[in-house]
Amino acid sequence: MVHHFDLAHASTRDLNHALHAFNGTDNDTAWQIKNANGLHNLAVGLDAPLTVDIEGHVGYYCAGMNKFARVTVHGNAGPGVAENMMSGVVRITGSASQYAGATAHGGLLIIEGHASSRCGISMKGVNIVVHGSVGHMSAFMAQSGRLVVCGDAGDALGDSLYEARLYVRGNVAGLGADCVEKVMKDKHKYEVDGLLREAGVSGADAAEFRRFGSARKLYNFNVDNADAY
């Protein structure tokens, strides 16, 4: 059984209340949401293994704070999709606006189109796979997790990066402070290959990707650069 919910006749609050009311004992975990029409805060704070399909474009913070659920947006997503996600899977079949996956701690975010600026900002363990390209300052202050970009990356990629691993198949407009290109070893190719399969990316070879990471020069104060602070 699939639960159907039509946002043309109910509010965002009604939807989220219905989703949050799932108590873990109902085997009918599939939900189909119609007429999203760019509404904000849809399917936020889910804390159960639901499968939620949202028809149409969504506004900001869709699937924010997600835990356990599998949320698919059949369209584009506004700013902050999957913000602070803890686990589960969020898939956008279109493109995503800025700071997709911001501060996310876990789970998998898949963007089948392109992502705008600051994709993965301050990510803390999430895996993000973008079928297309990402905008400037993506993975800014990213602490852990993996960002896989099948297209190009904008300027200042990985600025002030910590220990997140970045993989880009296409061109990189420029690297941010303390972000450097690193050797792509077999274990990294294996990692990328697994994420590509999980995200449903076809026609991409892990060997085509380049790896970027932190040079680890911003971790500690350096007295020789005191005038720059």
Residue 124: closest CA among 149, 104, 97 = 104
Residue 180 near residue 171 (C-beta atoms within 8 A): no
* Both structure tokens of 171: 């061109």
pLDDT of residue 221: 55
Segment-wise mean pLDDT, segments of 10 residues, the chain, 229 residues: 93 96 73 97 96 98 97 98 98 98 98 98 98 98 97 98 96 97 98 98 95 88 57
Cα(135)–Cα(155) distance, rounded to whole angstroms? 7
pLDDT of residue 217: 87
Burial class (CB in 10 A: 0-12, 13-18, 19+), 208: middle
Which residues lie below 8 Å from residue 62, measured CB to CB, with a gap of 6+? 40, 41, 42, 43, 44, 54, 71, 73, 77, 78, 81, 82
pLDDT of residue 177: 95
Q: What is the CATH number of the domain that holds 165?
A: 2.160.20.60
Which residues lie below 8 Å from residue 37, measured CB to CB, with a gap of 6+? 7, 8, 56, 57
Q: Domain count of the chain?
A: 1
CA angle 44, 196, 74 (to 5 degrees): 40
Backbone φ and ψ for 41, nearest 5 degrees, come out as 60, 35
* Both structure tokens of 132: 């297309």
pLDDT of residue 227: 60
Query: What phi-psi label fits residue 110: left (phi over 0), alpha (psi between -120 and 50 degrees) or beta?
Result: beta
* Both structure tokens of 213: 């990471």
Range of the domain at 64: 2-228
